[in-house]
Structure 1
Amino acid sequence: MSTNDPRHYDVILSPVITEKSTNASEYNKVVFKVRLDATKPQIKDAVEKLFDVKVKGVNTIVRKGKVKAFRGIVGNQSDTKRAIVTLEEGHRIDVTTGL
């Protein structure tokens, strides 16, 4: 495995484990929560280096934060950015094991 740059750990924050992302894994896609200022080339490089896989493409989504009320106190959730990473055939990432 190649040497890891510590900055790769800053780009990818966590895997997203939802019903929708689990269904996407059947099509060689993995969903990660990433930094808001992360670019597609940075995400691709980080995933390839950290997980030792070949990335076919990266799509990103910015989910706008919601306004929520809890016990009468109104607050805002932060915006989050997610990356849907498509892997080349034959490559897999098991997000349940972690890094």
Structure 2
Amino acid sequence: MDPHKILSYAYLTEKAVGLIEKENKLVFVTSRTADKSQIKDAVEKIFGVKVEKVNTQVKGREKKAIIKLKPEYKAIDVAVKLGLTV
């Protein structure tokens, strides 16, 4: 599956911004059919970072992925690449 089809868009709320700043995590809305390993590979390929862990949540019609980056990479740098102001 194409990495750009797996990651729909960055999910940005107050809680998600807190995760970016404090826990080095990013939150994306993803394809419902994508599994954790596909999400991990997509993030690593698109943003050039290493992923430590992926947690997923399915609520209603959307699937969210909370992605923890390895300590040598900063989630805030990825957020800036996406054009998010944190």
Output the TM-score relative to the length of structure 1.
0.75
Unaligned ranges ≥5, structure 2:
none
Find 1:91's aligned residue among 51, 66, 73: 73
Matched, 1:20 2:15: yes
Deviation by residue 1:48-79 (Cα, 9 ceiling, x = unmatched): 01000010000000012xxxxxxxxxxxxxx1
Please tell me whether Structure 1 or Structure 2 has the larger radius of gyration of its CA atoms.
1
TM-score (norm 2): 0.86
Q: What are structure 1's unaligned runs of at least 5 residues? A: 1-5, 65-78
Q: CA RMSD in A?
A: 1.6
Name the one with the larger helix percent: 2
Runs of 4+ that moved beyond 3 A: none
Equivalent residues in 2 for 1:1-99 (5 A)?
A: 7-25=2-20, 26-64=22-60, 79-93=61-75, 94-98=78-82
> How many residue pairs end up in the alignment?
80
